[in-house]
């Protein structure tokens, strides 16, 4: 790697330290941007001109398996200096997935609820195999943020637990699974984004932990991941005013602000490198997020981040057409100038590029066997969404389902009975239908007589909903409380009113809580209360064709199978669920379901 490094110009080195997205693009002969599915010669020229060494993909890049495999092959073919690209993606599983096909998997909290870190390993392995098959070699997962703040608007079920040791075990296991498949894992968001009530996409969060508190809590999963060979870490745009004392003047309000961790040498060099011994690649979260862009601006932020110890700057500007070429050139010039005038030591650049080259070497990118694009496509079509992966996804999802209440109603019997299924959206009705069609195919259940009702944007129950409750023998309500949990919002007010009405007419109700598990406190009088930790829906095409390779949410169908008694639930809470006020805030001094709550259901 030393010989490769020695041959690189400064601009080539900087190109290795940048990762951009091309999720949308507008060619010069087009009148608008569109999803970026096929390599544009304009993009290829931009990559070559600016020596760009890495790319991140988003949902707008995924049309189908063959297309993304060809696009990734074209990205690699765009490189002229012989250094393969890191091609990354946020494929966490559960609520954060980018692939249009293949396994979504149940997500971190559902995996941890099963109480077996091996499930997280299996999820990582399946994810890694499917990503590697289409030419992706970096996954920006796992999130090892500890969700100990129920008001967190961005992490929540992306976290394994509110316990640092559960999070560490599961996070390390997932990272090992990814890397066993040949994909670099990325523990994020260092030093921890769980105890915030602000989303760094839209604001600048702060955590007021002391150094001792941080090292004994938030940093524990990162330390474990590092100890076990996690190749990459992503920094978080979070302030820690009790630890970092350096500041910069905010562009937004012209006031002094504490440097966020992404720009902090204390966090990225002193703690991460020196104390924790991390030798892999450190990448930022998106530098376009408002926590950075609104307060610091790209020119200063890029220099501060590199000097703090960052190896790769992620998405430090948007590239959407050749009109952005000058902007990209100016961004690189800014870093070049900072090196040439001594604001960034050349040794700092060389350290980062060497780490990047070592990770590319460790992933086997320099020694990858030469195969044709057609061979790559054939292999990808065989792997992505294959029968074995789907079977494992289904099992992982059901094992995480957590039953909190069962007042003699679970599992429900459907034979000769009418079932009412209330869902927030049509794709959640599809989830119910998928579960039934899978059970029909397995000969586990007779045809179910059910009537769906979609309640999106309805704040109160109507006569049709009441009539359906009156006529039903079984009542199942799928709920998906979002980050604003105020009882006045329709996704709380309608199902709550429905439960109250059913109780008033002597009917039992099963509630499937499919997103934020903290809403369990709102439905603790439900006769059956089941949590599945992800509200991702199911396309109609998948409900009709259970062998489809399209991606879909695995959790709600798994919960339905548990409710119907055709899958065993083993889940236990990995968080505390506190009392929730009508305004959606929590009284954390009153725990209504403590960590570990749950019951087996066969």
Please identify every residue annotated as catalytic: 201, 285
In this structure, the number of other CB atoms found within 10 A of the CB of residue 488 comes to 11
Determine which helix (DSSP H) or strand (DSSP E) holds 20, and give its type and residue range: strand 18-21
Contact 114, 570 (CB under 8 A): yes
Which residues are bridge partners to 96 per DSSP? 93
What span, in angstroms and rounded, lies between the C-alpha atoms of 445 and 4? 62
Residue 308 three-state SS: helix
Which residues are bridge partners to 20 per DSSP? 55
Q: Kindly provide the residue ranges of all beta strands, DSSP E only, lying in 465-521, ordered along the sequence.
A: 474-479, 510-513
What span, in angstroms and rounded, lies between the C-alpha atoms of 60 and 39? 13
Residue 11 three-state SS: helix
CB burial of 526-541 (b: ≥16 within 10 Å; e: otherwise) equals bbbbbbbbbbbbbbee
What span, in angstroms and rounded, lies between the C-alpha atoms of 356 and 347? 14
Residue 84 three-state SS: coil
DSSP character at residue 550: B
Q: What share of the chain is helix, strand, coil (3-state, %, to 5)?
A: 40, 15, 45
Structure tokens, 199 = 């989303």
Q: For the chain, how big is the Rg over CA atoms in Å?
A: 25
DSSP code per residue over 345-370 = -HHHHHHHHHHHHHHHHHTTSTT---
In this structure, the number of other CB atoms found within 10 A of the CB of residue 389 comes to 21
Q: Kindly provide the residue ranges of all beta strands, DSSP E only, lying in 146-198, ordered along the sequence.
A: 184-190
If you count them, how many residues does the chain have?
Answer: 602
In this structure, the number of other CB atoms found within 10 A of the CB of residue 582 comes to 11
What span, in angstroms and rounded, lies between the C-alpha atoms of 179 and 501? 51
Contact 454, 465 (CB under 8 A): no
Question: For 506, left (φ over 0), alpha (ψ -120 to 50), or beta?
Answer: left
What span, in angstroms and rounded, lies between the C-alpha atoms of 175 and 225? 7
Q: Kindly provide the residue ranges of all beta strands, DSSP E only, lying in 90-147, ordered along the sequence.
A: 138-139
What span, in angstroms and rounded, lies between the C-alpha atoms of 599 and 602? 10
Given the structure tokens 């408002």, which residue do they identify? Answer: 290
Structure tokens, 303 = 């220099």
Structure tokens, 105 = 């998997």
């Amino acid at each position: 790697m030393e010989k490769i490094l020695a041959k690189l110009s400064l601009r080539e080195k900087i190109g290795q330290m940048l990762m951009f997205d091309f999720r949308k693009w507008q060619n010069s002969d087009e009148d608008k941007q569109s999803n970026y599915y096929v390599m544009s010669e304009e993009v290829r020229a931009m990559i070559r001109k600016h020596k760009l060494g890495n790319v991140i993909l988003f949902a707008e890049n995924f049309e189908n398996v063959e297309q993304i495999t060809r696009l990734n092959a074209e990205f690699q073919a765009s490189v002229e200096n012989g250094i393969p690209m890191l091609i990354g993606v946020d494929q966490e599983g559960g609520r954060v997935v980018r692939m249009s096909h293949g396994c979504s998997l149940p997500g971190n909290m559902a995996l941890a609820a099963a109480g077996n870190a091996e499930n997280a390993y299996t999820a990582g392995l399946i994810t890694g195999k499917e990503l590697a098959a289409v030419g992706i070699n970096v996954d920006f997962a796992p999130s090892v943020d500890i969700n100990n703040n129920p008001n967190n608007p961005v992490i929540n079920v992306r976290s394994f637990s509110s316990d640092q040791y559960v999070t560490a075990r599961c996070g390390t296991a997932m990272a090992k699974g990814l890397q066993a498949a040949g994909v670099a894992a990325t523990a994020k968001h260092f030093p921890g984004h769980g105890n915030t009530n602000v989303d760094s996409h839209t604001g600048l969060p702060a955590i007021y932990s002391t150094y001792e508190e941080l090292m004994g809590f938030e940093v524990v999963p990162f330390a474990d991941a590092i100890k076990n060979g996690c190749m990459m870490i992503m920094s978080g745009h979070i302030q820690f005013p009790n630890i970092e004392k350096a500041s910069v003047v905010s562009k937004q309000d012209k006031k002094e602000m504490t440097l966020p961790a992404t720009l902090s040498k204390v966090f990225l060099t002193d703690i991460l490198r020196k104390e924790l011994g991390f030798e892999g690649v450190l990448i930022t979260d998106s530098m376009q997020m408002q926590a950075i862009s609104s307060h610091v601006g790209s020119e200063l932020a890029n220099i501060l981040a590199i000097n703090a110890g960052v190896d790769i700057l992620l998405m430090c500007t948007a590239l959407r057409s050749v009109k952005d070429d000058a902007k990209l050139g100016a961004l690189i010039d800014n870093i070049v100038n900072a090196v040439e005038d001594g604001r960034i030591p050349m040794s700092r650049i060389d350290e980062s590029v060497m780490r990047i080259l070592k990770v590319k070497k460790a992933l086997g990118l320099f020694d990858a066997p030469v195969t044709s694009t057609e061979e790559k496509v054939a292999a990808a079509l065989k792997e992505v969404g294959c029968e074995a992966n789907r079977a494992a996804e289904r099992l992982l999802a059901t094992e995480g389902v957590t039953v909190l209440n069962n007042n003699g109603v679970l599992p429900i019997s459907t034979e000769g009975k009418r079932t009412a299924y209330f869902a927030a959206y049509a794709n959640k009705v599809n989830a119910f239908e998928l579960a039934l069609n899978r059970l029909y195919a397995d000969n586990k259940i007779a045809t179910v007589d059910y009537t769906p009702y979609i309640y999106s944007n309805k704040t109160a129950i109507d006569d049709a909903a009441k009539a359906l409750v009156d006529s039903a023998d079984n009542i199942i309500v799928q709920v998906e409380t979002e980050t604003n949990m105020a009882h006045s919002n329709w996704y709380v007010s309608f199902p709550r009113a429905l439960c109250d009405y059913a109780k008033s007419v002597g009917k039992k109700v099963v509630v499937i809580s499919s997103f934020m598990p903290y809403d369990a406190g709102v439905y603790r009088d439900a006769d059956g209360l089941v949590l599945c930790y992800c509200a991702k829906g199911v396309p109609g095409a998948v409900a009709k064709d259970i062998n489809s390779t399209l991606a879909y949410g695995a959790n709600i169908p798994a919960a339905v199978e548990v409710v119907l008694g055709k899958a065993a639930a083993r889940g236990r809470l990995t968080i505390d669920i506190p009392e929730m006020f009508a305004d959606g805030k929590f009284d954390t001094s009153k725990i209504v379901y403590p960590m570990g709550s749950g019951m087996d259901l066969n």
